[in-house]
Structure 1
Amino acid sequence: MMRKIITFGEIMLRFSTHVGQRLSQASLINMHYGGAEANVGVALSHFGHEVFYVSKVPENQLGTAVESHLKSHGVHTNYLLKGGERLGTYYVESGAGPRSSQVVYDRAHSSFSQAAIKDFNFDEIFSNASLFHVSGITAALSPALKELTLIALKKAKEYGVLTSFDFNYRAKLWSQKEASEAIKTLLPYADICSCGELDAIYLLGIDKADDYLSRAEKLKYYYAKIQEMYPNIQYMSSTFREVISTSNNTLQGNFYTDGELYQSSVYQIDSIIDRVGGGDAFASGVLHGIMEKMPPQELISFATAASVLKHTVEGDANIFSADEIETFMKNEPGKIVR
């Protein structure tokens, strides 16, 4: 049985330089459409879920292109509104070796950032829905969207919808103080939460764990503290990433439920094509596992494998099916699947 899933946020046009070029010297540039909640929606659609994306885009060729992008991945656009001034964009200067990638946002006055409460009929949107996903990025874009995010979470709970909130803190969008104040109002309405140790310390004000604890024990401590503060949160997740170079990272997934922390194997990703959207791919894997009632260890293995595979393709979204991810989990890395 397909379940109705709602994701709510801004989708943007991404311009990326080719590896080895700085923005200041680029004459050719790659274009992709993406945004945190849109990426999660695309991935969940590829996993076989019925996904509806809620957003607002301009009524021009770029807005039409966004709609085509979503539909091409099976995402429903019934709640994609048209209007406003422009589509938000962002620029990625692709890193190489020890040089990190850099992001420049150009999203002021975008159609979505100027969306108003009256634009969305959440009673219709959440009717018969099973899951709602939103992130801190949406709440960071404007005071109205901060209020809208809270209203949406409350309305989802009224309809008995399972709710997912990803902290997704971006220092270029708001300060730690602003994020902390807003997120603390949203968390009482979240069932699923994606956050890490730094979020716990700097956004929720939790005391640092003892130094003698292992990294896993520290994370378990932070998650237990968060659950004390917000007992409504049933599931928490995050990744441990070690950046050896821009194209060589290690990744391990973490999933916390019922007082226990489950961890995936540590993956070595040594030929990264595109890291953008890796966190969204992980989040979508967690949500898929929860929706499919996977055992926790199987869930975190699936979610981490989904994120690892995302690193191997260009674009913001993960476009692998659940079967492809499960096949990847069973086979040796790099082995030809015949």
Structure 2
Amino acid sequence: MSRILTMGEIMLRLSTSNDCRLSEAKQLQVNYGGAEANVAISLANFNHQVSFASKVPNNPLGNAAKKHLHRFGVSTEFLLFGGARLGSYYLENGVGERSSSVIYDRAHSSFTEMERLEWSMDELFHDVELFHVSGITPALSAGWATMTHHLMKEAKKRQVKISFDINYRGKLWSYPEAGKVLATLLPYVDYCSAGKLDAINLLGIEEHELDDLSSYYEQINKIYPNIEVFYSTLRVINSTSDHTLVGTIWSNGSLYRSKKHYLAPIIDRVGGGDAFSAGTLHGILSKCDFDYTVSFATAAAALKHTIYGDCNQFSIEEVEEFMNRQDQRIIR
């Protein structure tokens, strides 16, 4: 299988039970996650060789983050140790009509405080086929916006394909700030996770009355013809714990859609988009057709909603079995 490099911040996640407000919590569930780390774990579960690059403090929390990655077979040869603290976030789990909410506590973390790239670029990208990063990383600081741009340039020098998930977070930066940085990054991207709202709010595509996702991708592709594949999910939220999900992939003028998945009840939504990204990248790297790829990726995302934590835990065989099932009878 392919050798893949992902880079980003891995964080400590502290979350409430569904029936408890964060302000009233007496105990919190502990997990570790982050967009690029979640993608790395899914791809390792799909039998790819995956390395995750980041920086964590040299303390028990940093070591716990490393062990979390090792549990799922992700290489940590490029996981640096140093700095003051591990970034964290608090998740108040919603239920029914009460939405989930996130509080970030990642300022001055080991990764955020990096002022230069502390890896050898030749070692980092040696024998790498794909580099994956998300828009969360350049949103962390002006320095990381510059370093993400430099990493993409270095990857391209070595003919490495680049996957980029826009992954806009309004708590980290504004639309104008993000749009300015994206204009410097997207010329290097081969595979891009972006939806209709990204096109309108970040990329300057004019909204039109026809709800035709393909036309938005075609307009973005005219600006950035280097992007070979766009992928995204279409989610309908009936309540916090009841969604429907359809996956889409666009390439070379054609839009591919998965079947509709009914997600109810949802155990944990966090990481669902990362599971979809990983499923899409698995299909592309495995040279599968797009009908299979969009079905596989959406099935992987749907399964992620059924388990607790940031990362997906399913193998290729388990995703394919779920993808092809006609009912939910007990498997025995």
1:328 to 322, 327, 332: 322
> Following superposition of structure 1 onto structure 2, how do residues 207-286 of structure 1 map, counting pairs within 5 Å?
207-209=206-208, 211=209, 213=210, 215=211, 218-286=212-280
2:64 counterpart letter in structure 1: A
1:7-46, aligned counterparts within 5 Å?
7-46=6-45
Residue type at the aligned position of 1:52: S
Q: 2:145 maps to which residue?
A: 146
Give, in whole Å, the separation in 2 of the partners of 1:296 and 1:289: 8
SS of the residue aligned with 2:235? strand
2:136 equivalent in structure 1: 137
User: 1:164 corresponds to which residue?
Assistant: 163
Q: Is contact 2:16-2:91 (8 Å) kept?
A: yes
Unaligned runs of 5+ in 2: none
Task: Map 1:294-333 to 2 at 5 A.
Answer: 294-333=288-327
User: Which residues of structure 1 form unaligned runs of 5+?
Assistant: none
Aligned length: 332
- For 1:293, the equivalent position in structure 2 comes to 287
Q: How far, CA to CA, are the matches of 2:116 and 2:49 in structure 1?
A: 25
Matched to 1:336, the amino acid is I
Cα distance in 2 between the residues matched to 1:136 and 1:118 = 17
Q: State the 1:305 CA deviation.
A: 0.2
**TM-score, normalisation: structure 1:** 0.97
3-state SS of paired residue (1:119): coil
- The amino acid that maps onto 2:145 is K
Cα drift, residue 118 of structure 1: 3.9
Match of 2:185 in 1: 186
Per the TM alignment, residue 333 of structure 1 is displaced from its structure 2 partner at its CA by: 4.0
Alpha-carbon shift at residue 104 of structure 1 (Å): 0.4
Q: Separation in 2 of the partners of 1:132 and 1:7?
A: 6
Is 1:4 the counterpart of 2:9? The answer is no
Partner of 1:103: 102
Question: Could you tell me how far apart the structure 1 residues matched to 2:290 and 2:117 are?
Answer: 39
Output one character per residue of 1:7-29: Cα deviation in whole Å (capped at 9) or x when no partner. Answer: 00000000010011000111111
Partner residue, 2:55: 56
Counting only pairs closer than 5 Å after superposition, residues 119-130 of structure 1 correspond to structure 2 as: 119-130=118-129
Q: Percent identity?
A: 52
Code of the residue aligned with 1:177 in structure 2: it is P
Residue 85 of structure 1: aligned partner: 84
CA drift of 1:205 comes to 0.6
d(CA) in 2 for partners of 1:139, 1:180: 11
TM-score under structure 2 normalisation?
0.99
CA distance in 2, matches of 1:333, 1:142: 47
Task: Give me the whole-angstrom Cα distance separating, in 1, the residues matched to 2:201 and 2:220.
Answer: 13
Q: Deviations over 1:168-226 (max 9, x none)?
A: 000000011100000110000000000000000010111112x1x2x3xx210100001
Alpha-carbon deviation of 1:330? 1.4
Letter aligned with residue 2 of structure 2: R
What SS is found at the alignment partner of 2:104? strand
* CA apart distance, 1:127: 1.1
- CA apart distance, 1:243: 0.6
Counterpart residue identity of residue 254, structure 1: T
Let me know the Cα RMSD of the aligned residues: 0.8
Equivalent position amino acid for 1:84 in 2: G
